[in-house]
Amino acid sequence: MSQKIPVILDIDTGSDDAVALITALKAPELEVKWIATTWGNVPLAEATENSLRVLDLARSAGLLAAEIELYAGAERPLARDLHEGRRRRDRYSGLIDGEEVYMHPPILPGRPYTQQAEAQFAPFKYIDYLSSATEPQTIIATGPLTNLAIALSLEPNIVSKIKELIVMGGGYQKANVTPYAEANFWNDPEAVACVLHSGLKPLLVPLDATHEAYLRESEYREIFANSGELGEFCCALLEQRQKLHDLNQPLAEPQAVTLHDVLAVCAAFAPQLLSDCLEVHCQICLSAQANGHLVIDRRENPAEANARFAYHADRAAFVATLTRLFQA
């Protein structure tokens, strides 16, 4: 097998982040070097605890050859909350059959974790780790970009040690948290602006792609059928997500579910899952009304590209990739 891709995950562990972390640990093509956690789907402390719970579950399933260090990061956006009209909304949930169902449960099911987060602040870890890295690294960010934006602001030269930045975020014809914005970008648009201006030219895996790459219930149950406790854990999270999709975020089919962050992780070793990945010049809106809305320069002679935007994804290939990973 060719050399493993060294990756750093920056996650706000919620439900699809948890499945994405497990997928990254399962993928033989990837080597997860360390993990950063950030506020986003849930407060930082919950994202950190949830990530440690997932690591513990993965350890029990034999997925961890060695300990993977986890560094807690930002607790809040760079600047958004300083603006009254742009503050966070309530946790996304719905009342289904009399039960409050959360897209991202406050605390994921699972045993009390044994590992503890490292003491260093994740942005400082980025600076130290990348500054001394002997080979450029791949970063996969599936939450707000606050950690990376802080690190880039303090030490812009780390850009030279980042081989690829894959970001789950944004939307061209799709939105979720408001009529105009996707959640990760809405959560910290100033951080998005910082990354877009860094010269990194991130690969954006937006809602346009992740909504095409949905999984049917029959598909995800088959994918995780032979993964024991890990598979049951993933299915329980996807069941919750599926209920909320059916309730008020309909996909192309009922009884289906998005795995936004999982597609971003798979893009690191299977970029062919994404299609129409075009170099674009994009900006992020910071106003109260359009906070977090990503705008793309559509002129015939656009400004210099600062990102690659995946307009589409191959659903069948995504299902086949996950089947290969979890049925192997």
Residues that bind ligand RIB (CB under 6 A): 12, 14, 16-17, 40-41, 142-143, 168, 176, 182-184, 260-261
Minimum Å distance from CB 65 to ligand RIB?
A: 26
Handedness of CA 251, 256, 262, 268 (dihedral sign): negative
Nearer to ligand RIB, 113 or 186 (CB): 186
CA distances from 140 to 137, 144, 228, 295 (A): 10, 11, 26, 22
Minimum Å distance from CB 17 to ligand RIB?
A: 5
The residue at minimum Cβ distance from ligand RIB is 183
Tokens of 288: 């109260």
Nearer to ligand RIB, 123 or 206 (CB): 206
Minimum Å distance from CB 105 to ligand RIB?
A: 12
Nearer to ligand RIB, 208 or 219 (CB): 208
Minimum Å distance from CB 316 to ligand RIB?
A: 22
Q: Does residue 24 contact residue 7 with C-beta atoms inside 8 Å? A: yes
Task: Give φ, ψ of 88 to 5 degrees.
Answer: -65, 150
319 by DSSP, 3-state: which? helix
First to last CA, the chain: 16
Minimum Å distance from CB 257 to ligand RIB?
A: 12
Nearer to ligand RIB, 211 or 308 (CB): 211
Nearer to ligand RIB, 26 or 211 (CB): 211
Nearer to ligand RIB, 184 or 321 (CB): 184
Report the greatest alpha carbon distance in the chain.
Answer: 55
CA distances from 20 to 11, 129, 196, 318 (A): 9, 22, 24, 13
Minimum Å distance from CB 16 to ligand RIB?
A: 5
Helix (H) or strand (E) holding 6: strand 5-11
Minimum Å distance from CB 264 to ligand RIB?
A: 8
CB under 8 Å to 35, separation ≥6 — which residues? 8, 9, 10, 11, 21, 51, 55, 68, 69, 70, 71
Nearer to ligand RIB, 70 or 183 (CB): 183
CB under 8 Å to 136, separation ≥6 — which residues? 160, 161, 162, 163
